[in-house]
Amino acid sequence: MQIAIVLYPDFTALDVVGPYEVLGRLPGAEVVFVAEDPGLVRNDQRSLVVSPEATLDEVTNPDIVLVGGGPGSRLQLDDGKLHEWLRAVDRTSTWTTSVCTGAPILAAAGLLRGRRATTHWAAMEVLARFGAIPVHDRVVVDGHYVSGAGVSAGIDMSLMLAGRIAGDDVAQMVQLIIEYAPEPPYAAGSLDVAPESVVERARAALAR
């Protein structure tokens, strides 16, 4: 089972590393990080560099496709090589998935038209612009498309997918191995509960 995780400049690390930690532990999993061009890819905080194992041209038939988000996703909305690749591999993939603002990339490629999907709370209108149906849920499944909301939701999305692929027992085993039992010290993880002052600071930070 080949799992292709897409990298591009200014990606958010947890968007792809969280799902990698979960899906890479499934029986028979072969994870490959792919990018449009060979060479190192730097994340949005500029301090993490990942070397993709293959270019898009070298991965033609993955079972699972995962596109993470990040500030760099804004530069991946125009039709081009990545979109062509996504449309091609989506024809045979068992699952095409996204985390955070990876969903607008799938939508811009034409894969989510008329489909329900979620993304980071600050990017919901981008989904709608490309014909997807925005849903304010943490994980959304529509056909063979699975989307996770912002950043940390990629772990939830991947655990749900792990259960579908390998069964609940295996998914729970992986959850225990990575000790995923969130107990955040603050109630500020969504627009529904975050104080307005925190929301304003977050919007300003994202705008920068």
Would you name the residues annotated as active-site residues? 100
In this structure, what token pair is assigned to residue 60? 């033609």
Token output for 181: 């039992």
Listed in sequence order, the residues at least 6 apart from 8 whose beta carbon sits closer than 8 Å to its beta carbon are 35, 36, 41, 70, 72, 73, 75, 76, 82
CA angle (146 as vertex; 73, 48 as ends), nearest 5 = 40
Looking up tokens 């490309």 gives 130
Helix, strand or coil, per DSSP, at residue 170? helix
